[in-house]
Amino acid sequence: MSLNTGLSDEDRKVVAEGLSRVLADTYTLYLKTQNFHWNVTGPHFGPLHNLFEEQYNELRLAADEIAERIRALGHFAPGSFAQFAELKSVAEAPTSPPNAEEMIQQLTGDNETLSRVARSVQTTAENAGDEVTIGMMVDRMSVHEKAAWMLRAHL
């Protein structure tokens, strides 16, 4: 059965490809933030441990929402580490956990990266007339810009 939601097949494909990049970055940042939550040490352990947990929980929920939007557009969502590795622009966590300040710097930069990726997908969605994805990307930019601000406040 074909989809007829008012978006062309090509527009749905291009938007889904962009959302796949957002999903890969979101999942990578989720895993990295959870890693840092587990491994943060130092005098600011408590506040950072809690902040990282709040942020990775938000990312976990966002990943599901993004994947479901890709499916609603009639495409399959990437769901393996191999696929995410090909699509992501956020670097994975280093094998040896960095100090707390470096964790904050990395996560700040990663949230800013995700905001930029979401902004590019918003433009793609605007060109396709996909208001649902536009709204989702505006929401994602807001979350990532606030997360980066909250992280920077700890430096």
Give the number of other Cβ atoms within 10 Å of residue 85's Cβ. Answer: 12
From the list 31, 27, 25, 55, the residue with the least C-alpha distance to 121 is: 25
In this prediction, residues 39-47 reach a mean pLDDT of 96
Distance, CA of 128 to CA of 85 (rounded, Å) = 27
In this prediction, residues 91-97 reach a mean pLDDT of 95
The pLDDT value recorded for residue 2 is: 76
In this prediction, residues 112-141 reach a mean pLDDT of 98
Average pLDDT of the chain to the nearest whole number: 97
The pLDDT value recorded for residue 65 is: 98
Q: How many CA atoms lie within 13 A of 154 on its CB side?
A: 24
- pTM of the full structure: 0.96
Please check the confidence at residue 119 and state whether its pLDDT lies above 90.
yes
Judge whether 49 and 141 are in contact, CB under 8 Å.
no
Pure H helices in the chain: 9-39, 45-72, 81-87, 100-128, 131-152
Distance, CA of 49 to CA of 142 (rounded, Å) = 22
In this prediction, residues 1-28 reach a mean pLDDT of 94
